[in-house]
Amino acid sequence: KNKQRLQDVYKYIVENYPRKITLEEIASYASMNKTAFCLFFKKATNESFVAYLNVFRLQMACTMLTRSSKNISEICYAVGFTDIPYFNRAFKQRYGVSPTQYRASMRNAPQAEGQGICPGRPLPIMTTAGNYPAVVVRMSAKAGKSCVVARYARTIFILSS
């Protein structure tokens, strides 16, 4: 039941992230009160709903920065942020560069062959504990071996071939 409820919450986020989602709204959607929902979500994901939603929105911003020609403010509003300075601060805190610097670096960075893997790009990581929407933070290739380092919340994944 809780697994299905969490999947429903994830689906709701995907369908509604561009607009304001209140805790009351998502708790009601999950048929819970606000306090119970916050405890449920934190226990299931190890982060608060608001933190998860902001990370998801930032990942969507990364995708839009690399795939669209919209300006930064349009992308900010399109992914559900309502304050451009806050969006810029949150982006820089998460990725270490501003959205403008990120876009410039992604336009100049070669992507991994046929996989579309590059720093900042969302990358689903399958583990025995579940599927995590990780974000690539670094890539390298040496002596015919490739390595991708991805991050989800406080967990680091190292994928190598």
pLDDT tens-digit profile of 77-93?
A: 999 999 999 999 999 99
**3-state SS assignment for residue 109:** coil
- Asked if pLDDT for residue 134 goes beyond 90, the answer is no
Q: Is the dihedral of CA 70, 74, 75, 79 positive or negative?
A: negative
Q: How confident is the model at residue 127 (pLDDT cuts 50, 70, 90)?
A: very low
Furthest-apart CA pair in the chain: how many Å? 55
| Mean pLDDT, residues 64-84 taken together | 95
Q: Residue 104's pLDDT is what?
A: 86
Residue 141: predicted pLDDT: 45
Cα(155)–Cα(151) distance, integer angstroms? 6
Supply the pLDDT for residue 94: 92
Query: According to DSSP H, which parts of the chain are helical?
Result: 2-16, 23-29, 34-45, 49-67, 72-78, 84-95, 99-108
Torsion of CA 71, 77, 80, 85, to 10 degrees: 80
3-class SS of residue 159: strand
Q: How many CA atoms lie within 13 A of 70 on its CB side?
A: 17
pTM: 0.69
Q: How far apart are CA 16 and CA 62, in angstroms?
A: 18
Higher pLDDT, 105 or 59: 59
